[in-house]
């Protein structure tokens, strides 16, 4: 180390300087090319008598070609491009090579590479560093494309109303394509054994009741994570006889739990061993598919439970309606007969009137219960609806009631939602009728407003300047036959209106609630999915 005239400290040249001879530089370039994960090829253009590029002769090729395409450099060097890959003559990429050889202008494009053993997707860069040859550099992006496509397909499938079996088989087929598996299995795991719940895959792949040794499946279960096995016979030291009858030699799979009692696994199998371990992206995809299947199974179970409860409620309501109608009619008839006998007793008339009023109210409640239980039984007819049009239809039907209440209704900022027209009409009708019915203000005003939210839903509100609702009863008012204490004697009603609103809105994928921060009356808010 020494200092120059500017007092800057300089390093002394090393005792063994780096060899920068042309020969060494060429060697370094060769080593760099060979170690690159990119495939790098040079090729000399071959011209016709008219000066057109008709083929290329390979000059060099690195080992990246072997890693991605399974082709050794020796299989290419000295041979012609169309001699090795005759299908390129009609392929869209061949003119690109010719154009670069003629003009010297570089180009980058994406292309597939298919053979009996391979199905690759590559990004290719072609340049002409020298007039005598072109350089072709490519990087395989097959996995990125496969995983991206698989996730996109799963996203589309998850957005459908497909039945459970269709959804699971669809997810399994997506996985088979993404990880190049012959067959996929959904396994139910029990103690130290398992059974096949579903399977799908290539037509020529073996259809098996027990596709894998039990110890392999139990190992996957014990791991608790997605894993791959390149060579089942070797890794689990199966005997030669057992290995020879084993239908599948490699797998990638993930365990999943539906609930505390049921363990399952999603497994993708291949008849041959694999030359490499599964990548982290492949393992993550398999885990995602397994979790999607588990979520759909849980959703299906919940929907079936809800459907069963609804059917039970309908049967109960029908039974109550049928069995109580006759006794109530009898009570009504007998009370009318008693009135004729006790015309001179005013106290008796009071009691009889009370009996008749309660019988009438019971009949109203029975009818309301039957209607509530049958709500949506015909199925939802979901479509894109202009909220303003539905509200205007509702206001037209209630015009006489609105005039009678001397009410003023304002409608602003309405958008488009996904809903059932008849059911949404019923929601608005119930909310507006409630505002009219419970109005304590002679100058009643009702505001209906809509505001888009960031999460793809519309917030709709129906507010009034009436007496409002005690916040203590903000949940009770949505329960069947439950009303605000004290209102039963003052205002007619069956206690079903708001319960009906909640059932409808939740069936449409939304929420409804009383805004307890609104103090100038009552404000009901609801959300529904926004239509595109």
Using alpha carbons only, give the angle 506, 512, 514 rounded to the nearest 5 degrees: 155
pLDDT of residue 58: 92
DSSP 8-state secondary structure symbol assigned to residue 148: H
Please give the torsion angle defined by the CA atoms of residues 213, 215, 219 and 221, in that order, rounded to the nearest 10 degrees: 80
Output the CA torsion 362→368→371→376 (10° steps): -150
Tell me if 200 is assigned to some domain.
yes
> Would you say residue 29 lies in a domain?
yes
Q: What is the mean pLDDT of residues 137-163?
A: 88
Give the pLDDT confidence score for residue 18 in this predicted structure: 44
Specify whether 341 is located in the same domain as 204.
no
Least confidently predicted of 209-223, 326-340, 403-417: 326-340
- 85-96 per-position pLDDT tens digit: 888 888 889 999
What CA–CA distance (Å, rounded) separates 485 from 282?
A: 60
pLDDT band at 1 (very low <50, low <70, confident <90, very high): very low
Which domain range does residue 406 map to? 382-529
Q: Is residue 226 part of a domain?
A: yes
Is 500 inside a domain boundary?
yes
Asked whether residue 86 is domain-assigned, the answer is yes
Residue 15 lies in a domain: no
Whether 319 and 291 share a structural domain: no
The answer as to whether 150 is a domain residue is yes
pLDDT level of residue 462 (50, 70, 90 thresholds): very high
Question: Parallel, antiparallel, or unpaired for β 445-452 and 408-412?
Answer: parallel
Domain at 50, CATH number: 3.30.450.20
pLDDT score of 36? 55
To the nearest whole number, what is the mean pLDDT of the chain? Answer: 81
Asked whether residue 9 is domain-assigned, the answer is no
Domain identity same for 391 and 517? yes
Of 3 and 274, more confident: 274
pLDDT of res. 307: 74
From the list 252, 276, 282, 286, the residue with the least C-alpha distance to 68 is 276
* Region 212-240 average pLDDT: 88
pLDDT digit string, tens, across residues 175-211: 999 998 999 999 999 888 999 999 998 876 767 788 8
Token pair in block for residue 18: 């780096």
Tens digit of each residue's pLDDT (9 = 90 or more) over 265-314: 999 999 888 877 888 899 999 999 999 999 999 888 888 877 777 676 66
Of these ranges, 110-114, 225-229, 414-418, 493-497, the one predicted with the greatest mean pLDDT is 225-229
User: Residues 354, 221: one domain?
Assistant: no
The two tokens of residue 370 are 């039957």
Domains held by the chain: number: 4
The domain boundary residue, chosen from 373, 395, 422:
373
- Whether residues 316 and 446 fall in one domain: no
Instruction: State residue 402 phi and psi, 5-degree precision.
Output: -65, -40
- Same domain, yes or no, for 343 and 434? no
Task: Judge whether residue 501 has pLDDT over 80.
Answer: yes
For residues 188 and 116, membership in a common domain is answered with no
pLDDT at 44: 93
pLDDT of residue 526: 93
- Same domain (yes/no): 391, 429: yes
**CA of 325: how far to CAs of 287, 316, 321, 355, in Å?**
56, 14, 6, 15
Note the pLDDT tens digit of each residue in 32-66: 455 556 788 899 999 999 999 999 999 988 877 77
Shared domain check, 460 and 343 = no
Task: Annotate 464-482 with three-state secondary structure.
Answer: ECCCCCCHHHCCHHHCCCC
pLDDT at 442: 82
pLDDT category at 324 given cuts 50, 70, 90 is low
pLDDT (average), residues 357-370: 65
Which of 98, 114, 139 represents a domain boundary (last residue)? 139
Asked whether residue 232 carries a pLDDT value surpassing 80, the answer given is yes
Please identify, among 333, 349, 373, the residue that sits at the C-terminal boundary of a domain: 373
pLDDT of the residue at 70: 66
Lowest mean pLDDT across 118-127, 441-450, 503-512: 118-127
What pLDDT sits at residue 314? Answer: 67
List CB contacts of 309: < 8 A, sequence separation 6 or more.
none
Asked whether residue 356 falls in the same domain as residue 285, the answer is no
pTM of the model: 0.52
Least confident range from 134-148, 458-472, 507-521: namely 134-148
Same domain, 122 and 180: no
Over range 204-221, report the average pLDDT: 85
Q: Specify the pLDDT at position 422.
A: 84
> Which of 20-24, 99-103, 240-244, 276-280 is predicted least confidently?
20-24
Taking Cα atoms as reference points, which of 92, 110, 109, 96 lies closest to residue 45? 96
Helix, strand, or coil (residue 206): coil
pLDDT value at position 25?
44
Radius of gyration of the chain (CA): 38
Are residues 499 and 484 both part of a single domain? yes
């Amino acid at each position: 180390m020494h200092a120059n005239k500017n007092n800057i400290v300089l390093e002394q040249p090393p005792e063994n300087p780096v060899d920068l001879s042309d020969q060494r530089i060429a060697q370094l370039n060769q080593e760099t090319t060979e170690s690159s994960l990119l495939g790098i090829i040079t090729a000399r253009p071959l011209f016709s008598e008219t000066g057109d590029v008709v083929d290329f002769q390979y000059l060099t090729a690195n080992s990246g070609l072997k890693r991605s395409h399974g082709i050794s450099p020796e299989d290419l060097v000295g041979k012609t491009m169309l001699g090795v890959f005759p299908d390129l003559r009609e392929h869209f990429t061949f003119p690109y090579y010719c154009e670069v050889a003629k003009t010297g202008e570089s180009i980058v494009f994406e292309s597939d590479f298919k053979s009996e053993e391979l199905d690759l997707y590559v990004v290719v860069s072609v340049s002409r560093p020298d007039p005598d040859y072109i350089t072709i550099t490519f990087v395989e992006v097959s996995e990125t494309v496969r995983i991206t496509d698989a996730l996109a397909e799963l996203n589309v499938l998850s957005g459908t109303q497909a039945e459970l079996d269709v959804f699971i088989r669809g997810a399994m087929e997506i996985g088979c394509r993404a990880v190049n598996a012959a067959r996929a299995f959904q396994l139910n795991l029990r103690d130290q054994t398992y059974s096949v719940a579903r399977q799908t895959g290539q037509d020529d792949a073996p259809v098996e009741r027990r596709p894998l040794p039990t110890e392999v499946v139990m190992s996957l279960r014990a791991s608790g994570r997605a894993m791959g096995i390149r060579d089942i016979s070797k890794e689990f030291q199966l005997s030669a006889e057992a290995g020879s009858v084993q239908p599948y030699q490699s797998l990638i799979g993930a365990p999943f739990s539906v609930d505390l009692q049921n363990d399952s696994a999603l497994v993708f199998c291949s008849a041959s061993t694999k030359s490499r371990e599964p990548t982290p992206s492949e393992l993550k995809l398999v885990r995602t598919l397994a979790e999607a299947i588990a979520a759909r199974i849980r959703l299906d179970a919940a929907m079936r439970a809800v459907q069963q409860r609804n059917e039970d409620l309908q049967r109960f309501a029908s039974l109550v309606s049928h069995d109580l109608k006759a006794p109530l009619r009898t009570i009504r008839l007998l009370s009318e007969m008693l009135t004729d006998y006790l015309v001179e007793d005013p106290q008796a008339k009071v009691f009889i009137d009370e009996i008749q009023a309660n019988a009438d109210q019971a009949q109203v409640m029975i009818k309301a219960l039957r209607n509530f239980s049958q709500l949506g039984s015909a199925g939802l007819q979901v479509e894109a609806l202009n909220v303003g049009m539905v509200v205007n239809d509702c206001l037209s039907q209630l015009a006489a009631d609105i005039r009678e209440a001397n009410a003023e209704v304002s409608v602003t900022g309405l958008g488009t939602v996904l809903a059932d027209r008849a059911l949404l009409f019923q929601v608005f009708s119930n909310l507006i009728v409630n505002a009219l019915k419970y109005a304590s203000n002679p100058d009643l005003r009702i505001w209906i407003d809509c505001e888009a939210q960031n999460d793809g839903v519309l917030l709709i509100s129906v507010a009034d300047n009436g007496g409002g609702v005690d916040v203590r009863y903000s949940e009770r008012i949505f329960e069947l036959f439950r009303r605000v204490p004290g209102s039963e004697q003052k205002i007619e009603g069956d206690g079903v209106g708001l319960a009906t609103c909640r059932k409808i809105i939740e069936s449409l994928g939304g929420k409804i609630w009383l805004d307890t921060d609104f103090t100038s009356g009552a404000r009901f808010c609801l959300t529904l999915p926004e239509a595109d």
